[in-house]
Amino acid sequence: MEDCIFCKIIKKEIPSTIIYEDDKVIAFNDVNPAAPIHILVVPKKHIETLLDVSDQDNELISYVYQIINKIAKEKGFANNGFRVIVNCGKDSGQEVMHIHFHVLGGKKLGDKIV
Ligand code: DGP
């Protein structure tokens, strides 16, 4: 998508600190971190929100979780624990309309919302 920030990051038109990349997924540090570890894991396919995930994306979404698992182990924060958040739509405060998985950790995180 032409005017999507994350598509621009994927195409390297906008710089980011890339943590992991392959043909299906990219992961980079959030520009506005909410915790010492705040990585965004983003499927390269432009899916706007969780509501736009279709049956065809089942493998891709499962793969995203495999990559989160891999990053957590390789970056050394798996054992301490971490949180994965997907915002969806207006009430969640989703700002970037390209599905992404916030991976937060590196400290004792605040109270759970749910
Ligand atoms: P959300 O509210 O779930 O849509 O979160 C979007 C996140 O994306 C927010 O935490 C800030 C981050 N973000 C927005 N623009 C950029 C950018 O240009 N670079 C990076 N690295 N992160 C960005």
pLDDT at 94 over 90: yes
Instruction: Please give the residue range of the domain that contains residue 89.
Output: 5-105
CA distance linking residue 75 with residue 91, whole number of Å: 32
- Structural domains in the chain (count): 1
Asked whether the predicted pLDDT for residue 113 surpasses 80, the reply is no
Domain assignment present for residue 114? The answer is: no
Does the residue 113 lie in any domain? no
Q: Residue 32 C-alpha to ligand 1 middle, in angstroms?
A: 7
DSSP secondary structure letter of residue 21: E
100 tagged catalytic: yes
Its pTM stands at 0.97
pLDDT more than 70, % of the chain: 98
Q: How far is CA 36 from CA 25, 55, 69, 73, 83, in A?
A: 22, 34, 18, 16, 12
User: Is 45 domain-assigned?
Assistant: yes
Annotated catalytic residue within 46, 98, 100, 102: 100
112 — pLDDT class (breaks 50, 70, 90): confident
Cβ neighbours, 10 Å, residue 94:
17
Query: How far, in whole angstroms, is CA 22 from its chain's centroid?
Result: 14
Q: What is the average pLDDT across 70-97? A: 97
Question: Using CA atoms, how far apart are residues 106 and 114, in angstroms rounded to an integer?
Answer: 20
Residue 29 CA: which ligand 1 atom is closest?
Answer: 21
The residue whose CA is least distant from atom 16 of ligand 1 is 31
Give a yes or no: residue 110 inside a domain.
no
Domain of residue 53, CATH code: 3.30.428.10
In a domain, 60, yes or no: yes
User: Cα–Cα distance between 31 and 45 in angstroms, integer?
Assistant: 21
